[in-house]
């Protein structure tokens, strides 16, 4: 499952990419000359696999952020294509416009009709201009809500995929109520009477991500980040220096593992060794299994119970100290 | 435990030593907008609104409680909920040190106070944010206290009033702060289902995650004149689009013009206006004790 082209190679990926290149060269050489290099090739391939596993098993938070932004990483439509069938994309918020930074539609998962919403980035400059780099305007959130309500009306489970550098900060976005659009989605998603399965597949930047991120279960691919602001934004405000983003990434505890420990997400979804961009089919295959499992589990719940559990789930999130509580007074003593 | 309640007994316009302590600049103050030099006690008697140009000065949560709610009606609850430092967050300073400094400066444990109160005789549940506490930012404590205030409004069937003055979600609690947007919005959906009214009042400034959650979800949304109300920060927008922002961008007047708030109300008229609104949407339930769904309402 080798990749022949690497548009961007991160520093930490270099050793393994070098090895991959060598393997490709040897394959070509073997083909041209007819010399049998199979044993060597097998050995090198195994070595590359091992190296990749090792490198990716101990990435820093900042390296994970970079991976989450990898231009070869599968986006929402890449997963939709591989996981669902019969996809019909639906456009427009019925108020103002169609926002290509969010895709929405209906499809089937394992034969069952469902609704899909998700942020959508572009692969190249042209496509990115069209998709606005996956940064939605208010009409994107309103389109998503319209289609989710359609799902609720006809009893279709909802699957939402998060991958955005943030809601777009622009004049038009403010004029048309970016904040209201996100707030409305949080409010409405918290009581739609059908299962909602959220998956963070890339970048989860703040309200722009959460705006389609309220659900019954929050899954997160292992090389993603999700937080209140981008590491660059955080660095610019708190350090007054964008270049401190790696430090900010560390401090914000934004990796899947951190968020699992904080109780913000429910499960971490494994990616193929080296990350989803090395093997999109493999990544989709793993995710598909998880999505089906969650759908079947949630469909067993009574809609009323489903909604109550959803509100309860978010109610528990956070960390505070009850000053009159026993355990807290102990803590206070310890501090002194 | 909790905040010092002495401010509460103070009469409007009478400057006490405690007040002087929080306003150390002397007897006179210059208006941020028109430059008028105003006698401080005169300004306070006018609820910190400039007598010349009506500029609304930023005020503390304690001051706003006096302006909005009936005299001596505010009884704080959940004053014991204090912030922690779940991420052991450190930028150029430790978050725990920032918290201590903010607590010392404001006399508050975090950026919101919640309580039972009354507006023109109507019992209400109130939450008032304080911009002086780390920019009024919403971390776990703000989210939790607002969530509990919403629960109480629903359980006691009292109208909810949230007064926002906030830069948005608090960075030092990262994803946990972000999740408070979802938490408060989810609670508000339960309040709406119970048909208990929620009035959202926006002070200067109300931006970011606060606007993108409870602040924009009021049945009625009221802003003070000239308040900054928006989602993204102006510097970020300027950088992104590479051009200057239009005059009056993201003011209360701008969001009213674009259809996102119901009305703009002068600080000195806020209590009577809120009272009038409550009279209209809640008047028939006025005398009701906490009721169950099945019991008849008077």
List the pLDDT tens digit at each of the 336 positions of chain A.
445 555 678 888 888 888 988 899 999 999 999 888 889 899 999 998 899 888 888 899 999 999 999 999 999 999 999 999 999 999 999 999 999 999 999 999 999 999 999 999 999 999 999 999 999 999 999 999 999 999 999 999 999 999 999 999 999 999 999 999 999 999 999 999 999 999 999 999 999 999 999 999 999 999 999 999 999 999 999 999 999 999 999 999 999 999 999 999 999 999 998 899 989 999 999 999 999 999 999 999 999 999 999 999 999 999 999 987 544 433 333 333
A59 Cβ neighbours under 8 A, 6+ residues apart: A12, A67, A223
What is the predicted pLDDT for the residue at B296?
43
Shared-domain flag, residues A31 and A171: no
In this predicted structure, what is the pLDDT of residue B18? Answer: 42
Residue A53 in contact with residue A17, Cβ under 8 Å?
no
Give pLDDT, residue B9: 42
Give the burial string for B259-296 (b: 16+ CB within 10 Å, else e).
ebbbebbebeebbebbbebbeeebeebeebeeeeeeee
**What is the per-residue pLDDT for B286?**
55
| pLDDT confidence tier of residue B263, bands split at 50, 70 and 90 | very high
How many whole angstroms separate alpha carbon B106 and alpha carbon B60?
A: 8
Cα B282 to Cα B124, B244, B262, B269, B277: the distances in Å are: 11, 44, 17, 19, 8
Contact predicate A148/A116, CB 8 Å: no
A318 burial type by CB count under 10 A (0-12 exposed, 13-18 middle, 19+ buried): buried
pLDDT score for A11:
86
Closest-CA distance, A287 to chain B, in angstroms, reads: 23
Q: Among partner residues A228, A237, A320, which is closest to B81 by beta-carbon distance? A: A320
Q: Are residues A242 and A118 in the same domain?
A: yes
Distance CA A68, CA A276 (A): 9
Q: Which residues of A touch B256 (CB under 8 A)?
A: none
Rounded average pLDDT over B6-22: 43
Tell me, what's the pLDDT at A325?
57
Residue listed under structure tokens 């959803």: A310
The minimal CB distance from A239 to the residues B92, B182, B236 is found for B92
Instruction: Tell me if A118 is assigned to some domain.
Output: yes
Q: What is the mean pLDDT of residues B271-280?
A: 98
- Nearest chain A residue (CA) to B246: A171
* Whole-number Å distance between alpha carbons of B189 and A182: 14
Residue A194 has φ and ψ, to the nearest 5°, of -130, 160
Task: Please provide the distance, in angstroms rounded to a whole number, between the alpha carbons at the two ends of chain B.
Answer: 38
pLDDT tens string B86-128: 999 999 999 999 999 999 999 999 999 999 999 999 999 999 9
Residues 6 or more apart whose CB falls under 8 angstroms from that of A9 comprise A17
SS3 assignment, position B94: strand
As a whole number, mean pLDDT of residues B138-155 equals 98
Partners of A324 on chain B (C-beta within 8 Å) are 1, 80
Q: Based on the fold, state whether residues A90 and A32 are members of the same structural domain.
A: no
CB contact under 8 A, B182 and A214: yes
Q: Residue B15: its pLDDT value, please?
A: 43
Query: Is B111 in contact with B166 (CB distance < 8 Å)?
Result: yes
Q: Where is pLDDT greater, at B9 or A68? A: A68
Give a yes or no: residue A74 inside a domain.
Answer: yes
Are A174 and A54 in the same domain? Answer: no
Residue A334 lies in a domain: no
| pLDDT the model gives residue A157 | 98
Question: Which is nearest to B215 in space by CA: B225, B204, B226?
Answer: B204
Query: Which residues in chain A have Cβ-Cβ distances shorter than 8 Å to B260?
Result: 177, 179-180
Among candidate residues A151, A164, A161, A75, the one with its CA nearest the CA of residue A107: A151
pLDDT of residue A7: 67
Nearest to A226 by CA among A65, A78, A77, A101: A65
Phi, psi of B124 (to 5 degrees): -140, 165
Q: What single DSSP character describes residue B294?
A: S
A171 and A259: one domain?
yes
Contacts of A238 in chain B (CB under 8 A): 91-92, 171
B25 vs A71: which has the higher pLDDT: A71
**Do A83 and A49 fall into the same domain?**
no
User: For tokens 């050793």, what's the residue?
Assistant: A15
Q: Do A95 and A127 belong to one domain?
A: yes
CA atoms of B289 and A117, how far apart (whole Å): 44
Residue B285, pLDDT > 80, answer no
User: Considering the domain boundaries, does residue A77 fall inside one?
Assistant: yes
The predicted model gives B153-182 an average pLDDT of 98
CA A35 to the chain's CA centroid: 45
The minimum CA-CA distance between A18 and chain B, rounded to whole Å, is 37
Among A123, A128, A80, A71, CA closest to A103: A80
The whole domain housing A258 covers: 65-323
- pLDDT of B130 > 90? The answer is yes
Residue A91 sits in the same domain as residue A192: yes
Q: Are residues A54 and A75 in the same domain?
A: no
Burial string for B39-63 (b: 16+ CB within 10 Å, else e) reads: ebeebbebbbbbeeebbbbbbbbbb
Q: A78 and A49 in one domain?
A: no
* B153/B53 Cα distance (integer angstroms): 37
Check whether residue A105 and residue A153 sit in a common domain. Answer: yes
Contacts of A178 in chain B (CB under 8 A): 212, 231-232
Rg (CA), chain B: 19
Query: Is residue B38 helix, strand or coil?
Result: strand
Tell me whether residue A5 is in a domain.
Answer: no
Confidence of residue B295 (pLDDT cuts 50, 70, 90): very low
Our CA-based measurement puts residue A41 at a distance from the nearest CA of chain B, in whole angstroms, of: 45
Same domain (yes/no): A117, A227: yes
Q: How far apart are CA B11 and CA B22, in angstroms?
A: 17
CA-to-CA distance for A136 and A117, rounded, in angstroms? 12
Instruction: Give percent above pLDDT 70 in chain B.
Output: 87
* Residue A132 belongs to some domain of the structure: yes
Rg (CA), chain A: 22
Q: Are A215 and A177 in contact (CB under 8 A)?
A: no
CA–CA distance, B114 with B76 (Å, rounded to integer): 6
Q: Tell me what pLDDT residue A330 has.
A: 34
Give a yes or no: residue A333 inside a domain.
no
How sure is the predictor about B293, in pLDDT bands with cuts at 50, 70 and 90?
Answer: very low
CB–CB of B241 and A170 under 8 A?
yes
Q: Residues spanned by CATH 3.90.226.10 within chain B?
A: 58-287
A174 near B250, Cβ under 8 Å? yes
- Residues in chain B with CB shorter than 8 Å from the CB of A170 are 232, 237, 240-241
Please give the pLDDT value at position A5: 56
Which one of A167, A191, A317 has the shortest CB-CB distance to B176? A317
Q: Please give the CATH architecture assigned to the domain spanning B58-287.
A: Alpha-Beta Complex (3.90)
- CATH number, domain at A165? 3.90.226.10
Report the DSSP beta bridge partners of residue B221.
B200
Residues 6+ apart with CB under 8 A from A290: A219, A267, A269
Torsion of CA A294, A297, A298, A302, to 10 degrees: 180
The total number of structural domains that make up chain A: 2
- The shortest C-alpha distance from B105 to chain A (Å) reads 20
**A318 within a domain of the structure (yes/no):** yes
Q: Name which of A193, A315, A326, A336 to mutate to probe chain B: the one with the most chain B Cβ atoms within 10 A of its Cβ.
A: A315
Cα–Cα nearest to B131, from B64, B179, B55: B64
């Amino acid at each position: 499952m080798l990749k022949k082209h690497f548009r961007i190679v991160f520093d930490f990926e270099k050793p393994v990419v070098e090895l991959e290149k060598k393997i490709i060269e040897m394959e070509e050489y073997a083909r041209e000359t007819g010399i049998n290099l199979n044993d060597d090739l097998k050995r090198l391939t195994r070595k590359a696999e091992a190296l990749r596993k090792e490198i990716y098993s101990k990435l820093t938070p900042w390296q994970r952020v970079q991976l989450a932004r990898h231009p070869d990483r599968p986006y929402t439509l890449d997963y939709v294509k591989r996981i669902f069938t019969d996809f019909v994309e639906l456009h427009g918020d019925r108020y103002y416009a169609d926002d290509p930074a969010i895709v929405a539609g209906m499809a089937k998962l394992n034969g069952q009709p469902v609704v899909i919403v998700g942020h959508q980035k572009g692969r190249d400059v042209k496509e990115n201009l069209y998709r606005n780099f996956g940064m939605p305007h208010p009409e994107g959130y309103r389109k998503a809500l319209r289609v989710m309500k359609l799902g609720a009306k006809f009893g279709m489970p909802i699957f939402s995929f998060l991958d955005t550098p943030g809601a777009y900060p622009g004049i038009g976005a403010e004029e048309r109520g970016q904040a209201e659009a996100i707030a409305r989605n949080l409010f409405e998603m918290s009581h739609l009477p059908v299962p909602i399965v959220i998956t963070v597949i890339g970048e989860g930047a703040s309200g722009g991500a959460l705006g389609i991120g309220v659900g019954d279960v929050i899954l997160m691919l292992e090389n993603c980040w999700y937080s209140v602001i981008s590491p660059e934004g955080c660095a610019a405000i708190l350090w007054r220096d964008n270049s401190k983003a790696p430090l900010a990434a560390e401090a914000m505890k934004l990796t899947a593992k951190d968020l699992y420990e904080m109780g913000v997400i429910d499960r971490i979804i494994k990616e193929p060794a080296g990350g989803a961009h090395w093997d999109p089919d493999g990544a989709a295959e793993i995710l598909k299994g998880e999505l089906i499992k969650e759908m079947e589990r949630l469909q067993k719940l009574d809609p009323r119970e489903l909604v109550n559990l959803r509100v309860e789930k978010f109610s528990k999130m956070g960390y505070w100290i009850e000053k009159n509580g026993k355990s807290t007074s102990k803590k206070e003593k310890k501090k002194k | 435990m909790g905040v010092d309640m002495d401010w509460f007994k103070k009469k409007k316009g009478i400057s006490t030593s405690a007040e002087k302590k929080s306003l150390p600049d002397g007897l006179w103050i210059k208006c941020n907008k028109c430059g008028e030099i105003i006698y401080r006690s005169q300004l306070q008697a006018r609820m910190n609104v400039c007598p010349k140009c009506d500029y609304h000065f930023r005020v503390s949560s304690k001051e706003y409680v006096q302006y909005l709610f009936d005299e001596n009606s505010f009884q704080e609850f959940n004053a014991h909920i204090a912030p922690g430092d779940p991420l052991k967050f450190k930028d150029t300073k430790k978050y725990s040190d920032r918290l201590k400094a903010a607590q010392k400066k404001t006399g508050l444990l975090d950026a919101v106070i919640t309580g039972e109160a009354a507006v023109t005789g109507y019992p209400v549940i109130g939450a008032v944010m304080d911009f002086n506490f780390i920019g009024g930012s919403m971390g776990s404590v703000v989210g939790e206290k607002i969530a509990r205030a919403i629960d109480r409004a629903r359980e006691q069937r009292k109208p909810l009033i949230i007064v926002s003055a906030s830069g948005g979600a608090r960075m030092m609690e990262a994803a946990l702060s972000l999740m408070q947007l979802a938490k408060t919005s989810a609670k508000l959906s339960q309040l709406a289902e119970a048909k208990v009214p929620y009035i959202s009042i926006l002070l200067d400034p109300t931006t970011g995650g606060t606007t993108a959650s409870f602040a924009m979800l009021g049945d009625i949304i009221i802003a003070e004149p000239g308040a900054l109300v928006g989602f993204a920060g102006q510097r970020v927008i300027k950088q992104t689009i590479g051009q200057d922002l239009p005059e009056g961008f993201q003011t209360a007047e701008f969001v009213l013009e674009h259809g996102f708030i119901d009305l703009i109300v002068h600080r000195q008229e806020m209590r009577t206006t809120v009272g009038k609104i409550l009279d209209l949407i809640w008047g028939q339930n006025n005398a009701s004790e906490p009721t169950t769904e099945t019991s008849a309402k008077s």
